[in-house]
A and B are shown apart, each in its own frame.
Chain A
Amino acid sequence: MKNRLIRLFSGLFLFAFLFGACRETPSKVIYHKDPTEKLDSTCKWLSENSNFHHKKYYSTFRNYYAEQLKHKRPDKVAIALGELTELEMYFSFFQKSTLDTVRSFQTRYAGKLPWDKTLFVESYIGNYYVNQANYRKAIRSFLKLVAHKPFDYNTCVEVAHGYGDMAFCYFAMGKHEQALQYNSKALALFNQTDNYTGRGGIYDNMALVSLYTKNYTKAEVYFDKAMADYKRTNDTGNVLVSLHNKIILYQEMNDPKQYDLIDSTYHLFIKSKIRDESLEVALSSFYIDVLLHEGRNSEAKAVLFDMKENVDTLNSAASDADYNIALANYEIKAGEGIRDIGVIERALHAVEDQEDYQNQMAFAQVLKENAVLTKDYQKAYIYSEKLKRAENKISNQRMIAKNMELNKLYETKHKEQQIALQKETISNGKIMITLLMSALMGLILVLFIVFLRRKQKKVKSENRRARRYTKQLLDKTEEERRRIASDLHDSVSHELLNLKHSMSGNPVSAGEKIDSIIKDIRSISRNLHPVMFEKVGLSASINQLLDRAQSVNQLMVTSDIVYNGSLSVSDELQVYRIIQEALSNIIKYAKAVAAKILIQENSEGLTIQIKDNGKGFNVSETLSGKDAFGLYNIIERSKAIGGEAKIHSDKNGTIITIDLKKTK
């Protein structure tokens, strides 16, 4: 019974060429049907569905077509031929002569007109072959059609139909995966237009694929969607098609509702007075099944008679097959046996060449039943085998379809998992990067903090040292004052007091006492400040210092001074103080045999060096200790004159080096 489905199907997608009137505009729609499409009066007449069955339809077309050819108006030729082919496709009323006309048009004008004006050529050729159940040839035509990129309403609809037709071909060949694939492409394109009839056709098609992959719930959903689209455009013809399809669904589900539905649909069709031979044949064959099922053989015979007329008009393999099977069924049921068994056998042979297992099954079934009826068991066996093979093939295809679906499900799931995994990997990577970045930043921050801390610490210790130095400096100043005070008081005052007492006595001893006082004062003064330093100069003052150290402290100090007076007097005084301090340290602590003062001046700067061969000391330890005032005195004074004091000391002695760079 399923054979009818395919024939009806070719009718179904032809219906889709009906352009539905646009009533509402969903937001996603991009292309709308241009309601002001201009056609001249003849073309308009040719495009009307109701005129197709007019007896002058073809002669009108031929006259007009010849006229336009003669005047070399290829665009009008194309329009006229387009309208004719459209109606032929609508009614599945394919004429060999039309095919020839289309072919000659193609040879003549292909490439000379814009591609969107000649889309009907491939569409018609494809559908012609579909009607002949030659799906491979049909697909070749449709592939040429869908190669175009749609840019407006008409092209969009045409290409969508191309996909839909290809989907149907694959479906008829049992390749459900491709069918689904092309259906979804068609659906996407239809969704860009307000052509609901076309979309309904695709839903129908998808429903049938679902039906064949035994996904009945899905099939019913798609049928309902298709029906909704048809009702939207008040398209009774297509509503009937959908009803027909629903019948097939119920048959497939073995739902007993099918008989009522067939009955009501058949009567609705008759009542609608719609002239559609293709649909009528399909519904008739169902109805005959119902009548034969209920034993109403004479009524079945009447319907068969009406059907024969339509089948003859239609040049369709599917309709022929439907009729032959219905007739055969009737003849078997009537107990007469198939009258013209050759037709069926030829039909079976024909569909065996195609991969049309549905019809193979149907034909084998009737032939087997007929053989049983005529008690020709050998043939019954052969057809039974063929039936079984076709059934196996179909169930195989179903299995494959099922597997495919499962596989698809699995793949989808697998892909989802992979995507999830990738997302996780990416997010993990991101987290990793973020972690690394923050770790790096943290590290930098820590280093920065450590650096700052250290600097702060250094500054702090420097500050502490400076504070200590200042305090010690103040203390030293105080100590110095105390010393001066005590010097003045202890020596000078006492001497003066002595002098006062001895004034009355010996003038000679008084003079000596006065000399002694003067000497004391001179000594105090000398200790406070080098006498007339500015006048005497640095070298002379230093040598004076060394002489004194030598004579007073028994320290052998030699000097090597090359100095041209490049320093200011105040800086010279600092150098003097540094050397004084260093010498004082050597005398106090070093236990040195000798010391040497070196001053070297050259174009780069000034180097001052004080070295001794004393016992030496631990520099850093001493510097951090309490009694480092002398050393800090040297260091700070060196800084004050823009130099740096380097102190090196070991058991062989101490070397203090101060480098002063010339600022010029």
Chain B
Amino acid sequence: MTIVIADDHPFTLQGTQSFVESYGYKVIATCANGVSALNIIQLRSPDIAVLDINMPALDGLDVAKKVQELKLKTKVILLTMHNEMTIYNKSKEYGVYGYILKEHAQVELKNCLAEVAKGNQYVSDSLLNDLISVRETGTSELDKLTFSERKIIELIAQQKTSKQIAEMLFLSEKTIEGHRTNIIEKLGLPKEKNILLKWAMMNGVE
């Protein structure tokens, strides 16, 4: 199992290298920027490349994109400070195997390397947690619903029709109906007329 590590911060680079080596992997090269990383990947075809995102010249995402375009067998793991879904989504487009946050590297890097080595994908738990953590917690049942679904339930509680709700939320009536079905399913409610209204009344949704 050969590994290439790229990071423009020498301390981080060194730290990562010692972690990786401590897990029993062989680090064949370390690079301070994306260009040399891509060169090494092309020349020596390592099994895994652990790349930082923010680097001079080519960044981690660019390298991942190139790897995908050149159909290289090296699997890319992004080790980054960016706890952002947008960037994660982008990295998925480029066929990145692992996405972990530097702050949790001590915990996650080992697992990530192991999963990726097996050919699985690994995403940092804290990335997903971050999104969930901003949600407010209310009724336990309501927690199961998305923001949109909760909004719709609120409007149902105000005895609005699907048409009115659709107008108020700038959505189509069809979308609202779809949401209704999803909500009923999520809450495990029987298929009755006005069941959502009844449920909302009963659960004190305002």
Q: A-side interface residues toward B, CB under 8 Å?
A: 514-515, 518, 522, 531-532, 535-536, 540-541, 543-544, 547-548, 550-552, 554, 556, 558, 593-596, 611, 613
In the complex, the 4 A-B pairs of residues with the closest C-beta atoms, listed nearest first: A596-B170, A594-B169, A551-B134, A536-B86
A518-B103, A551-B134, A611-B170 as given contacts; A532 in contact with B82, CB under 8 Å? yes
Interface string of B80-100 (1 = CB under 8 A from A): 011111110110000000000
CB of B163 closer than 8 Å to a CB of A: no
CB of B114 closer than 8 Å to a CB of A: no
- List 7 additional contacts besides A535-B61, A556-B169, A593-B169; criterion CB under 8 Å: A535-B59, A536-B86, A540-B89, A541-B86, A544-B84, A544-B85, A544-B86
A531-B82, A540-B86 as given contacts; A550 in contact with B169, CB under 8 Å? no
The residues of B that contact A544 with a CB separation of less than 8 Å are: 84-86
The residues of A that contact B147 with a CB separation of less than 8 Å are: 550-551, 554, 556
Cα distance A554–B138 when bound, in Å? 13
Q: Which of B123-168 contact A (CB under 8 A)?
A: 131, 134-136, 147-148, 151, 155, 168
Cα distance A515–B124 when bound, in Å? 14
CB of B72 closer than 8 Å to a CB of A: no
**Closest approach, in angstroms, between the C-beta of B90 and any C-beta of chain A?**
6
Cα distance A540–B134 when bound, in Å? 19
The residues of A that contact B134 with a CB separation of less than 8 Å are: 548, 551-552
Q: Which of B86, B135, B155, B171 has the most CB of A within 10 A?
A: B86
The interface residues of chain A, by DSSP majority, are classed as helix
> Which A residue's beta carbon lies closest to that of B102?
A518
Determine the interface band of chain B, counting residues with CB < 8 A from chain A.
Answer: 20 to 34
Would A536 and B87 count as touching, CB distance under 8 A?
Answer: yes
The residues of A that contact B155 with a CB separation of less than 8 Å are: 593
> Which A residue's beta carbon lies closest to that of B106?
A511
**Closest approach, in angstroms, between the C-beta of A515 and any C-beta of chain B?**
6
18 contacts between A and B (CB under 8 A): A518-B81, A522-B81, A522-B83, A531-B87, A532-B84, A532-B86, A532-B87, A535-B90, A540-B90, A543-B86, A544-B85, A551-B131, A551-B135, A593-B168, A594-B151, A594-B169, A595-B170, A596-B170
The residues of A that contact B148 with a CB separation of less than 8 Å are: 556
Cα distance A611–B168 when bound, in Å? 11
The residues of B that contact A595 with a CB separation of less than 8 Å are: 170
Would B84 and A558 count as touching, CB distance under 8 A?
Answer: no
> Which A residue's beta carbon lies closest to that of B175?
A558
The residues of B that contact A514 with a CB separation of less than 8 Å are: 103
The residues of A that contact B61 with a CB separation of less than 8 Å are: 532, 535
Task: Among B103, B136, B171, point to the contact of A558 (Cβ < 8 A).
Answer: B171
The residues of A that contact B53 with a CB separation of less than 8 Å are: 532
The residues of A that contact B171 with a CB separation of less than 8 Å are: 558
Cα distance A543–B147 when bound, in Å? 14
**Closest approach, in angstroms, between the C-beta of A572 and any C-beta of chain B?**
14
The residues of B that contact A551 with a CB separation of less than 8 Å are: 131, 134-135, 147
